[in-house]
Amino acid sequence: MSLTRALELATERGYEIVSSAHTPFKTVNAARETFKAFLFECKAAGFKMLADLTGVDYLEFTTFMPERFAVIYNLLEPVTGERLLVRVFVPDGEKVPSVTDLWGTADWHERETYDLFGLEFEGHPDLRKILTPEDLDGHPLRKDFPLGETPTLFRDGRFIDPATFRAGLMGKDPGMTGYRGGARIDSSLVPKLPTEANNESRGLGGPK
């Protein structure tokens, strides 16, 4: 009931309605300028709950998508369980109007999307990071965010470059296990491994 009404409203506005063979739920591709008015009408039509709000980064997607990012609004009708997905495409660097005034639950969802994707929501009362630590730069769920393997300089001067570290573990280059080998970038700072040649000069030599 609410779903048919919402789909009528979407057709009136000229939005594209995507239905898939796999999932019973319909997706409406809404325009970024007018989608908030559409969501307001959906709420009036019975979709009283915003079940979920999340982002997608289509940077490496195999099919062409109109913009890089998309925000997915997951609307739920609490009595019948009807559901409608609304997708809004967002170009990189552009802002999206916040829906916190329609549903209070959007508060944390938008903060999460801002934190993990870097999408800014205009009109959000308190747009801060929510999940990642304060000192983390970047937005981890963007497809161009590197996956782990961060080169790390420890306090005791130990530097680990993951790629060379792994190569050392696999025996490709035994001197590159990261700790005392040649894995550091500035090799002049690296204390040399005790070899037979410099053992005597440093007084560390054992019996030969």
Partner 1 sequence: MTQPSSKPKKPKATPPVKLETRAEVVIPQERSSLIGGSGLLHTETMSLNVGPQHPSTHGVLRVVVDMEGENVKKVVPHIGYLHTGFEKTMENRTYAQNFTFAPRMDYLHGLGYELAYALPVEQLTEAVVPERAMHIRILMVELNRISSHLVFLGTGMLDLGALTPFFYTFREREAILDLLEMVGGQRLHQSYFRVGGVDRDLPDGFEAACKTFLDGFDAKVDEYQNLFQGNPIFLERTKNIGVLTQEMALDLGTTGPNLRASGIKLDHRKTTPYAGYDQYDFDVPVGANGDCFDRFVVRVQEMRESAKICRQALTKLKPGPIQDPNRKISLPPRSELETSMEAVIHHFKLVTEGYHPAKGEAYVPTESARGELGCYIVSDGGSMPYRIHFRSPSFVNLQVLSRIGIGGLFADLITVIASLDPVMGDVDR
What residues line the site for partner 1 (CB under 8 A)?
20-23, 25, 27, 48-52, 54, 56-57, 60-63, 72, 74, 76, 78-81, 83, 85, 103-105, 107-109, 112, 116, 129-133, 140-141, 145, 147
At closest approach, how far in Å is the CB of 121 from partner 1? 16
At closest approach, how far in Å is the CB of 83 from partner 1? 7
Residue 68 near residue 93 (C-beta atoms within 8 A): no
Which C-beta is closer to partner 1: that of 110 or that of 161?
Answer: 110
DSSP code per residue over the chain: -HHHHHHHHHHHHT-EEEE-SS-S-EEEEE-TTTHHHHHHHHHHHT--EEEEEEEEE-TT-SS--SSSEEEEEEEE-TTT--EEEEEEEE-TT-EEE--TTT-TTHHHHHHHHHHHH--EEET-TT----SS-TT--S-TTSTTS--S---EE-TTS-EE-HHHHHHHHTTS-GGGSSSSSTTSSSGGGSPPP--HHHHTTTT-----
At closest approach, how far in Å is the CB of 193 from partner 1? 35
At closest approach, how far in Å is the CB of 143 from partner 1? 9
At closest approach, how far in Å is the CB of 12 from partner 1? 24
- The Cα–Cα gap between 132 and 116 comes to 8
Which C-beta is closer to partner 1: that of 10 or that of 99?
Answer: 99
Which C-beta is closer to partner 1: that of 2 or that of 74?
Answer: 74
Query: 118: which 2 tokens?
Result: 């870097």
At closest approach, how far in Å is the CB of 172 from partner 1? 22
- The Cα–Cα gap between 175 and 172 comes to 9
